[in-house]
Structure 1
């Protein structure tokens, strides 16, 4: 079989199909699956939201993911190099994804550090968390002094782990660590879910998740499910282009996309069955995001038998999800720098690590400022970044990420053409792409319209889609 243009003979590749699937699923399975999906499922009517979510993943999520995979595998290049090879006028599409991932990695590594802090705290002093979970969280951010542990030490440990894996490379680093972390993540998730559904009073939560009430179905619910499905799959950052570029030509893309999306959805559903029955059983108000994960959930663990043990397990679960996602986000940027700027892998990883770490510190300090007005900022003298963290999340989650995926879909659907994309999937008739005509319609029309709905809903109406 001849090499396609851009296919480097010495370029890294996944050693096995399983390694790729677990790595791609690890990228997709992130913090949003664990701490956002349950809250959205609760607010969206439980079973009703879940049904809509699964339909959207099957139609829109798989479509957008396939668009990124075909670009990556066809060119065997990073996001910028891939787009430049296919049409040099659109290399900025890949650049947009790389820039988005660069920004996200900055604050993602900080949150990963917070998770490490909580793992240690549940082992050493869980009573301090239970005494006042909100004060404990703010103290980590620096309410009583500069947040050395919350902003520097723990995030540095987290970033050090990511850097170590990235420097090891695709096969010896990323693939190998995901073969360990992803099974461990599923094991922890299953154990915690079993514990949750067996709590006294959890049956009401199970009923809520299993009994559809379509009277609660409205446009906001659909839009919220659309946003969650889209952001859950790590789309729009060029990550899947990069991961797809490490795929061997004989891999079955249809099967791989299906497995990755299925694994990601299973994790989200298990997270819902882990959180919602527990909050029904304990009376804790369900929520979303860091405030819920780091503050509200302490009330759930406090009321459980062996609560500190299960609390520690929960944050280990978050740690695995954060680490696998962070690795993929950084790899997208590293691949760009090493291939386009001809910088060594070690040097590129170090440069990206240092620059994003600075962004991350500002993010943590901004979170403190937003929570406790001005503890670590001298507003009068201008030494402040009020709203920096919120702005960063708004910029990446509501603008750049959906815009990135929109441009990938438009590029594959209209510029490069679906005919060439389908040819890459089928590999000269080796594989059968039975739904190719459906995919062509979805990637050209339906997916772009759905992503536009996310953009408008998130920016104009201020809906918490991401």
Structure 2
């Protein structure tokens, strides 16, 4: 089969694991536990589960149906169904490219920490050694870029090997490894003396915590966690054989993604409660790279625990990054008739250049001395890291998802999409009517709420 005629997943399991790998990213491992802590524990989890089922799953099905119906990349898919909506695919490609550029940098940070734990977990001395180590590392001009290049090279290697021979084969190995490691870490965490307090916080629902803020926080986390709104599921759906049931596959993907998030919370929240107390919980990259190493250092066998955790982060980062790079690569292959090797080669340099801007801006506005040029005399890097993240998470992803839902719900039509969701020659999609209502009305309304709170009120949800 020629590349332009679309490859296919060799098995349903391979597709589910690859798509679940796309959804299971860095945010599932460290951001979800932080959101649980910020929004009252069990109340947040309850809202999150409801939103994944009622909103996340319908949006994912909308994307998968577009992909399988057209057997095209995200831009080609919209052009085939309605040329006027090609811009929606363009939104996806731009979003994916920007995300891949900084995802490679963060993936490089994770690789660095895996190496640190493998070589002795030496973070230096002093009361603030963990935060000082992280801040010192990311503010260097060259070392983070070397690790980012290594991470990007791993992604390119997998994508160049193709859909079934590269992405599917690697996902069949990495995703079971990720689950086994996560289960092992969670079991160790919940058996620590005093872990019960963290578990009670995690799974008990306090009525006072069921607020509007909790609901909006769960909306944002669930929505962005599932890799919808970027076109990844359109690309992955285009590789699905016509005789597969998309609803069963999408439900499995959502279930696996949610399971990873819950296991991550069970692995992290009790440990933090035991060592630092509830106030020790935080969110974002600093939580993973500064607070958690301090937590691990206070645990029996903390070095091994820390190694397992950052290997988990690496597997989550790699599987997600592979799906992002594959979607960009498929666009170049089909639109410009390039080979996989040429397409990924063309992407590598601009990705590294944009990623370099993200990495260098981590200096927090301080001047940076490079070996061949001194910028410290007044030149300061723009805050590209904050700009790039807000551009993708707060604007482009919800905007893309809104376009996908409006297109399926009101242009292409939910009846056409529903026919694509069921297996060819099999029983029709039994939930076509409620799914259509969700795609036409509920999902767009939720996305507009997210846009209001992230743009209108200036609060980030991703």
What TM-score results when the alignment is normalised by the length of structure 1? 0.94
Question: What's the counterpart of residue 91 of structure 2?
Answer: 96
The secondary structure found in structure 2 opposite 1:36 is helix
Check if 1:218 corresponds to 2:214. Answer: no
The secondary structure found in structure 2 opposite 1:184 is helix
Check if 1:420 corresponds to 2:424. Answer: no
Q: Deviations over 1:228-265 (max 9, x none)?
A: 00000011111000000000000101100100000000
Check if 1:431 corresponds to 2:424. Answer: no
Question: What's the counterpart of residue 225 of structure 2?
Answer: 232
Alpha-carbon distance between aligned partners in 1 of 2:214 and 2:440, rounded to the nearest angstrom: 24
Alpha-carbon distance between aligned partners in 1 of 2:201 and 2:228, rounded to the nearest angstrom: 30
Check if 1:150 corresponds to 2:144. Answer: yes
Select 1:181's aligned residue among 157, 174, 177: 174
Question: What's the counterpart of residue 206 of structure 1?
Answer: 199
Select 2:336's aligned residue among 323, 338, 341: 341
Select 2:21's aligned residue among 22, 26, 32: 26
Select 1:134's aligned residue among 127, 131, 135: 131
Alpha-carbon distance between aligned partners in 1 of 2:79 and 2:296, rounded to the nearest angstrom: 51
Structure 2 vs 1, CA of residues 393 and 279 (structure 1 numbering), >3 Å: closer, same or farther? Answer: same
Question: What's the counterpart of residue 125 of structure 1?
Answer: 120
Alpha-carbon distance between aligned partners in 2 of 1:398 and 1:379, rounded to the nearest angstrom: 32
Alpha-carbon distance between aligned partners in 2 of 1:392 and 1:172, rounded to the nearest angstrom: 33
Alpha-carbon distance between aligned partners in 2 of 1:445 and 1:18, rounded to the nearest angstrom: 32
Alpha-carbon distance between aligned partners in 2 of 1:47 and 1:62, rounded to the nearest angstrom: 21
Alpha-carbon distance between aligned partners in 2 of 1:299 and 1:226, rounded to the nearest angstrom: 31
Alpha-carbon distance between aligned partners in 2 of 1:318 and 1:8, rounded to the nearest angstrom: 32
CA shift for structure 1 position 426: 2.9
Alpha-carbon distance between aligned partners in 2 of 1:431 and 1:298, rounded to the nearest angstrom: 51
Select 2:39's aligned residue among 25, 29, 44: 44
Q: Deviations over 1:328-386 (max 9, x none)?
A: 0011110000100112211110111111111111111111225xx334584765x4332
Select 1:298's aligned residue among 293, 299, 303: 293
Q: Deviations over 1:86-122 (max 9, x none)?
A: 0000011011001100000000001111111101111
Contact 1:57 1:261 survives alignment (8 Å): yes
What TM-score results when the alignment is normalised by the length of structure 2? 0.95
Alpha-carbon distance between aligned partners in 1 of 2:291 and 2:356, rounded to the nearest angstrom: 24
Alpha-carbon distance between aligned partners in 2 of 1:464 and 1:129, rounded to the nearest angstrom: 33
Alpha-carbon distance between aligned partners in 2 of 1:78 and 1:364, rounded to the nearest angstrom: 30
Alpha-carbon distance between aligned partners in 2 of 1:140 and 1:410, rounded to the nearest angstrom: 44
CA shift for structure 1 position 21: 0.1
Check if 1:441 corresponds to 2:433. Answer: no
CA shift for structure 1 position 435: 1.4
Question: What's the counterpart of residue 4 of structure 1?
Answer: none
Q: Deviations over 1:162-206 (max 9, x none)?
A: 000010000000000000000000011001111111112111000
Provide structure 1 residue ranges, at least 5 long, that are not aligned to the other structure: 1-6
Alpha-carbon distance between aligned partners in 2 of 1:427 and 1:308, rounded to the nearest angstrom: 48
Contact 1:29 1:264 survives alignment (8 Å): yes
Check if 1:315 corresponds to 2:310. Answer: yes
Alpha-carbon distance between aligned partners in 1 of 2:354 and 2:3, rounded to the nearest angstrom: 34
The 4+ residue runs of structure 1 with deviation greater than 4 A are 7-10
- Aligned ranges 1:347-426 → 2 under 5 Å: 347-370=342-365, 373-376=366-369, 378=375, 381=378, 383-426=379-422
Q: Deviations over 1:195-230 (max 9, x none)?
A: 111112111000111211121111111000000000
Paired residues in the alignment total 453
Alpha-carbon distance between aligned partners in 1 of 2:26 and 2:448, rounded to the nearest angstrom: 24
- Range that drifts further, 322-331 or 415-424: 415-424
Q: Deviations over 1:289-335 (max 9, x none)?
A: 11110011111101111111111110000000000000000111100
The secondary structure found in structure 1 opposite 2:122 is helix
Structure 2 vs 1, CA of residues 379 and 450 (structure 1 numbering), >3 Å: closer, same or farther? Answer: farther
Check if 1:282 corresponds to 2:280. Answer: no
Say what the alpha-carbon RMSD is for the aligned residues: 1.6
